[in-house]
Amino acid sequence: MQSGEANQRIARISAHLHPSNHQMEESSILKRAECRAKGGAPGFKVAILGAAGGIGQPLSLLMKMNPLVSVLHLYDVVNTPGVTADISHMDTGAVVKGFLGQQQLENALTGMDLIIIPAGVPRKPGMTRDDLFKINAGIVKILCEGIAKCCPNAIVNLISNPVNSTVPIAAEVFKKAGTYDPKKLLGVTMLDVVRANTFVAEVLGVDPREVDVPVVGGHSGVTILPLLSQVKPPCSFTAEETEYLTRRIQDGGTEVVQAKAGAGSATLSMAYAAVKFADACLRGLKGGAGIVECAFVSSQVTELPFFASKVRLGRAGAEEIYQLGPLNEYERVGLEKAKKELAESIQKGISFIRK
Ligand SMILES: NC(=O)c1ccc[n+]([C@@H]2O[C@H](COP(=O)([O-])OP(=O)(O)OC[C@H]3O[C@@H](n4cnc5c(N)ncnc54)[C@H](O)[C@@H]3O)[C@@H](O)[C@H]2O)c1
């Protein structure tokens, strides 16, 4: 055996005996990662920013299982070494690398096709999503500045709340940097759709996988507008059922915040919803046809600059944005309420950057 090879084997064995320190990028484990990378499956490169959090961890786990992902970068300001070591042992195709702290943000982002952002603080009982604004607005700004610099062509899935304001913030950051592509910035409202499908299925007594409820508007309180008149398969609801379902879908997040009693907001169902949405984006990037999901995007569907509605996902991101379709009287009233609150939240986001 050549001495170079022998040295490599010794280095690999000693890397197992003396696990890496927290400087993930620098350690001798790096060589092992490179070895594994050669065996990685072909696919997309995905980064999760806020990967060590309540949403970030199950989201990282589920993305590691996604066969469309070849490289998975996990970035956070805390605890990524542990999360990365843990998830990297899963025998799925994606190669996982961890990045810790802002000095490693650029390496985490470079070359990525899709960025998923669940970074930020979650709600506690009594807080609205808007109360999170100050902290999360600053976090989203920093992360988007990094994206503009290192992977301006990547699709961005923004989860950090308040989505109604953080998406306009991200748009302003990208505009300032000259990299804004409205098709590639998507606020994740999939959890509202997931909840709507579940609650409607409960009322109808059917399997939620057979139900598709469009949810439009935004992602907070009355801005969440389920279009129960457009549920598939076609069905009808009494006025009482409509009121119950609309309220429950709008307050779904608060239901979880209260049940968790101070321990945060939805994380597991959110991770599921985020992966469902990210998977749709990746299938779109791959050239798949007829991929339609709801998302909060730059829009001309109403007079507001951003609005959630059904979008068709393709190679360029949200390639087509669908009109709302016929609304009933209950939904028309809901739409007016939603637009009023949305307008303020959008303006708040824009002003945060333009101030
Ligand atoms: N879009 C939705 O439907 C939806 C649903 C639920 C929660 N959320 C939002 O998602 C966010 C995360 O929720 P969570 O429960 O996972 O919170 P969490 O506190 O458990 O995790 C957030 C993670 O973000 C990290 N973080 C903080 N600052 C960062 C920075 N500058 N760069 C990178 N990472 C950073 C933290 O270290 C932490 O690991 C919150 O804003 C929450 O309101 C959105």
pLDDT tens for the chain, 355 residues long, are 455 666 666 555 444 444 343 445 444 455 555 555 544 568 999 999 999 999 999 999 999 999 999 999 999 999 999 999 999 999 999 999 999 999 999 999 999 999 999 999 888 788 887 778 989 999 999 999 999 999 999 999 999 999 999 999 999 999 999 999 999 999 999 999 999 999 999 999 999 999 999 999 999 999 999 999 999 999 999 999 999 999 999 999 999 999 999 888 999 999 999 999 999 999 999 999 999 999 999 999 999 999 999 999 999 999 999 999 999 999 999 999 999 999 999 999 999 999 8
The predicted pLDDT at position 288 comes to 97
- In CATH, what class is 190-354? alpha beta
Q: If you take atom 14 of ligand 1, which residue's CA is the nearest one?
A: 54
147 touches ligand 1 (CB under 6 Å)? no
Cα-only R_g, the chain: 21
Count other Cβ atoms within 10 Å, centred on residue 18: 10
Q: Per the annotation, does 76 bind a ligand?
A: yes
DSSP one-letter string for 194-230: HHHHHHHHHHHTS-GGG-B--EEE-SSGGGEEE-GGG
The pair of three-digit structure tokens given for residue 251, joined into one six-digit string = 């307050």
Burial class of residue 149 in the structure, from the number of CB atoms within 10 Å of its CB (0-12 exposed, 13-18 middle, 19+ buried): middle
Q: Is 257 in the pocket of ligand 1 (CB under 6 A)?
A: no
pLDDT, position 30: 52
Q: Is the CB of 120 under 6 A from ligand 1?
A: yes
Atom 9 of ligand 1, residue of closest alpha carbon: 160
The reply to whether 159 sits in an annotated binding site is yes
Residue with tokens 């499908």: 197
Q: Considering only the C-alpha atoms of the chain, give the largest distance between any 2 of them, rounded to a whole number of Å.
A: 79
The confidence score (pLDDT) of residue 331 equals 98
| Ligand 1 atom nearest 75 alpha carbon | 33
Fold of 44-187: Rossmann fold (3.40.50)
Answer yes or no: is the C-beta of 132 below 6 A from any ligand 1 atom. yes
* Residues assigned a catalytic role: 219
**Which pLDDT value is given to residue 355?**
83
Report the pLDDT value the prediction gives residue 159, as an integer from 0 to 100.
98
pLDDT for the residue numbered 6: 64
As a whole number of angstroms, the distance between CA 57 and CA 107 comes to: 20
Q: Is residue 160 annotated as involved in ligand binding?
A: yes
The pLDDT assigned to 16 comes to 45
Cα distance between residue 115 and residue 69, in whole Å: 12
Query: How far is residue 237 from each of residues 153, 203, 205, 215, 229, measured CA to CA in Å?
Result: 43, 9, 13, 16, 8
The answer to whether 24 touches 87, Cβ cutoff 8 Å, is no
